[in-house]
Amino acid sequence: MRKWDVLEMLWLSAVWGASFLFMRVAVPEMGTLAMVGLRVGIAALVLLPIMAWMGAAQSLREHFWRIMGVGLLNSALPFLLFAYATLSITAGFASILNATAPFWAALVAWLWLGDRLNRWRVMGLLIGFSGVVWLASSRSGFSPEAALPAVGACLLATLAYGIAASYSKRFLPQVNPIAAAAGSQLAASIVLLPFAISHWPSAAVSLKAWGAVICLAVVCTGMAYISYFRLIRNVGPSRAIAVTFVIPVFGVLWGALLLDEAVTMPMLLGGMVILLGTALTTGVLVPPERFRAKE
């Protein structure tokens, strides 16, 4: 892997880790629906001209209705669920739960597409699930009334990401990646726009919240998608997915440094268990040959 690819992976992890911080800042003032509507709308405005410049508009026109499904599963629904969750839990806590996305992707691919799960991947599923249960039960200082619905929302969001991955593999294998990225944000914008308008905040929104949502849309969504698809092209999907394992590091770091969020031992240990299980499930972590030979 080239040095530039490694640096881009670190940059992408830092940016996606910061997305949870920006949500924590913007959602309390803007509300969930208005904030997410702005996020996908601005991201679409960033990505659509780039898509046209790269000559991928025809791909969007030909596959728009299928890309609509990606927009709902990979943007509109999970963005709403994570935004809701950050009203009750910290950015670092949410970023740790975000690491279960590849875990769900592997499970959905097995159930839907028939992808093989060997004993190590099954063990990874069990380890990852136990980490989620432990992290949720520990609550890391949150009240059950606040934490459990938020944890459930995060897990539903990552499940949506997992379904979107298999959906894309099944229905969009030949679609230009930038067309899929731009089209998914456009589709999410079309769906969410009426709700964003009807739930627009009645009180004035601070410049801090506006800055957070603009950074979230332009950097954490628009620019991040471009980097992610470039990584898939340069290093392959199995290596690009390693970004997911570094996001919690930055999510916890930004939350602690910029929002003064507490970092508890259950968060750290639970996060490590989730990452171990997800690494085994996705094949990023491969057991030694002497163990695999016994399968």
What's the rounded mean pLDDT across residues 15-28?
95
pLDDT at 220: 94
Domain range list for the chain? 3-286
In 3D, which of 33, 39, 51, 21 has the Cα closest to residue 201?
A: 33
Alpha-carbon gap, residue 91 to 256, rounded angstroms: 9
238: tokens are: 């199995």
pLDDT at 47: 95
Task: Centre a 10 Å sphere on the Cβ of residue 154 and count the other Cβ atoms it contains.
Answer: 28
pLDDT in tens, 110-120: 889 888 878 88
Residue 105 φ/ψ, nearest 5 degrees? -60, -40
Q: What type of residue is 110?
A: W
pLDDT in tens, 189-231: 999 999 999 999 999 999 999 999 999 999 999 999 888 877 8
- What counts of helices (H) and strands (E) characterise the chain? 16, 0
pLDDT band of 159, cuts 50, 70, 90: very high
Helical spans, DSSP H, in 139-223: 144-171, 177-198, 207-217
Alpha-carbon gap, residue 124 to 103, rounded angstroms: 8
Residue 278 in contact with residue 100, Cβ under 8 Å?
A: yes
Q: Is the pLDDT of residue 18 over 70?
A: yes
What's the rounded mean pLDDT across residues 5-11?
85
Percent of the chain exceeding pLDDT 90 equals 47
Q: Is the pLDDT of residue 295 over 70?
A: no
pLDDT at 274: 85
pLDDT in tens, 232-252: 767 766 567 778 778 888 999
